[in-house]
Amino acid sequence: SHKIDCCLYVTINKYNENEIDDIIYNCKKYNIPVHFNYLTYSGRAKTNKNDLMPTSNDLLKKIKNAYEKYYSNKIIKLPNSCWADASVLQLDSEGNIYYCTEINHYNNKNWLGNIKTFPINEWLNRNKSVSYENKLNKCPYDVYYGENIFITKNINKKCDFCYNNKKISTIKQLNKVFDDLYQEFEMNCNGCEYPDCMGYIWLTKQETKKLSNLGVDILTINEDINCINSLGDISVDTDFSSIVYPKCPLRCDKSYKCKIHDERPMVCHIYPVGLESAKNGSILWVLHKDCLFVKQLENKGLLELFMLKCNQLINSLSIELEETIISTFKKIDNVSSFPNGENRYYILKERRELYVKV
C-alpha cells in the first residue's frame, strides 16, 4: 500500500490547550509529526483576543512536559536568525507572494508580487545569489524542535522586513529618503567607469514644470512624455549612437558633477534603484547591478540589507504617488528600448497591482 506523508498543524488556543497531551500521544502512536503554533493576532482578532487566548501562563513548559512523557530525547531551541532565502514562499488568499508568514501578518504591502503577474522564474534567476538568511536581526519567532515535533512561539519583536514608519506622498519626500539611505550606506562614486547620466531622463509633470522654471531644456514626445533634452540640435551628420545613448547636457565634462544636483529628477535621485518592464509585461522595482555602489555593497556583504531598506521605502509610497511614477514610466518605456540588450538588475518587488487603480 502507498503511504501519504502528512503533518498535524495545531494552533494552540483556550479550546484545545488541555488536549496537548492527547495530541502528542496520538501523533506518536501513528508516527505523525506535529507542529504547534502559538496564536498570531491579525485583523479583527486583535480586538477579540480573549475569545481564543490560552489560559496557561507557560504553554512551552506544558508542551515539553507532555512530550517528555512519550519521547526520551529533549526538545531543543533552534537558532532564530532570519531564514528568508526564497526556498519557501508564502501565498495569501489573493495570490500575493511573501518571504514568510510573519511579513504578511504585519503589513500586507510587503509583498514580492502577485502569483498571477509576478515573473517568478525571472526573479529566481536574477536574484539567485540573494539570501537574507543570517544577515538580518533575529526572527520574531522562536522555534523548538524534537522528534516528530516543532513548536513555533511568538516573541515580542517586529520583523525586519516590516519595520518602517515613513509615509511618502511626494517626489520631494521620496528623493529625501533615498538621499538619506545612500548616505547611510556611504555611497561613493569615485572610480566609477559606468557610462551614467545618459539616455532619456524622464520627468513627471511636476518635475517638468519645476525644471522648466529653472531654465532646463525639456524634450516633449507625443505631447505627454517629458524628458530632459539630451539630443540638442540634430542634423544629417549626427552620430546615431549619440541619439541612442544621448549624454545629459547637465553633467559637467570636467567635474562630472550635475549642474542641477540638488534639483535633479527623481530617476537620478533614486538610481541605482529604478523601474523595469519584465518579459511578461509586469512592472518591477529593481536595483541595477552595474552600478559601482551596488558592487561595493556585494563586496561588503551589505546587499541584502540595502535591498530590504529599499523595499521598505517603496512600500511606504502612497498609492497616488506610485501610480504617478508608474504611469509616467510606462509612457517612456513604450517608446524606448535598449539597443544593446536589457539592463542587468536585481528584482526588488513588483509594483502593487492590487493596490493601484490602473
Comparing C-alpha atoms, which of 262, 350, 356, 270 is closest to residue 310?
Answer: 270
Comparing C-alpha atoms, which of 344, 337, 295, 292 is closest to residue 199?
Answer: 337
Segment 328-351 shows an average pLDDT of 81
Q: Which of 35-49, 111-125, 185-199, 259-273 has the lowest mean pLDDT?
A: 185-199
- What integer pLDDT is reported at residue 165 of this predicted model? 66
Domain boundaries, the chain: 1-72, 171-350
Q: What is the pTM of this model?
A: 0.79
> CA-CA distance, 329 to 277, in Å (whole number)?
10
Q: What is the tens place of the pLDDT at every residue in 259-276?
A: 888 899 999 999 999 999
Beta bridge mates, 114: 96
Q: What is the tens place of the pLDDT at every residue in 7-62?
A: 999 999 999 999 999 999 999 999 999 999 988 776 677 777 778 888 888 999 99
Could you give the 3-state DSSP secondary structure of residue 142? strand
- What integer pLDDT is reported at residue 166 of this predicted model? 76
- What integer pLDDT is reported at residue 159 of this predicted model? 77
pLDDT greater than 70 at residue 236: no
Respond yes or no on whether the N-terminal peptide bond of residue 33 is cis (omega within 30° of 0). no
Under the banding of pLDDT at 50, 70 and 90, the label for residue 163 is: low
> CA-CA distance, 124 to 110, in Å (whole number)?
18
Segment 347-351 shows an average pLDDT of 91
> CA-CA distance, 341 to 252, in Å (whole number)?
28
